Amino acid sequence: MRILVVEDEQDLAAAIAAGLRRDGYAADIAPDGVSAIDRAAVNHYDVVCLDLNLPDIDGLEVCRTLVSEPATAGDIDVMPPKVIMLTARGSVDDRITGLDSGADDYLVKPFSLEELNARVRALLRRDTNNGNSVISQASIEMDTARHEVTAGGESVLLTVKEFALLRWFLLHPDVVHSAERLLEHVWDEHADPFTNTVRMTISNLRRKLAEAAGDHPIETIPGRGYRLRTQT
């Protein structure tokens, strides 16, 4: 899952992005409203963590723009990004205005990174799995809240990036994903498009799933990409 952090305070933005990456998300940073809108026009973000006090456009206007623009991700139907407003504006009227502007959640500064990550997980569950933290496909079961995976009933220990990659496959089963698309959604803007990191991560993920369940459902489609197969 890819997240955009819109924050003009450089140290805070870096800390938020680092905390999200530790939780397995790909995180980009935009220092102002214009760059946030520009980035969202090029990349599909699942969540936007949005400061309101930006140096150019007010965050409320940025929110209205982001949630009103059509969202696409190749041939996958996607929803506009979920927006969590991160701001020092903490009055009841401020919260109401923010939510009425299209925000899905509202977090008043100062806040803990652990709470932010928990709110991100809650927002992502809302549309992807009927509010349930457990995703199941084929013989694989993933608990996104507990960060636990089983295959064939056996526990599978995954790295943060392997977990994020498997979560993407589980949420979009039987769809062929190119390496470029996986880089866009599982890694961040700093990922080298010429690297073999996707192939290596998939190889390691397959091996771990096979060790647990005796087989794995992730197949290579020559010339196109990778797919998590749910039917034999």
Instruction: Render pLDDT for 71-125 as a digit per residue (tens, 0 to 9).
Output: 555 555 567 889 999 988 888 898 899 899 999 999 999 899 999 998 998 887 7
Same domain, 141 and 63: no
Which pair of structure tokens corresponds to residue 73?
Answer: 């991700």
Of 128, 157, 178, the residue at which a domain comes to its end is 128
We report the CATH number of the domain holding residue 56 as 3.40.50.2300
CB-based contacts of 147: which residues, under 8 Å, 6+ apart?
24, 163
- The mean pLDDT of 142-168, rounded to a whole number, is 89
We report the CATH number of the domain holding residue 165 as 1.10.10.10
Same domain, 104 and 172: no
**Poorest-pLDDT segment among 40-44, 129-133, 154-158:** 129-133
Same domain, 31 and 71: yes
Q: How many independent structural domains does the chain possess?
A: 2
- The mean pLDDT of 189-200, rounded to a whole number, is 77
Q: How far apart are alpha carbons 34 and 54 in whole angstroms?
A: 10
Q: What is the DSSP letter of 103?
A: -
Q: How many CB atoms lie within 10 A of CB 64?
A: 16
Same domain, 138 and 43: no
* β-strand partners of 86: 51, 107
Range(s) of the domain holding residue 213: 134-228
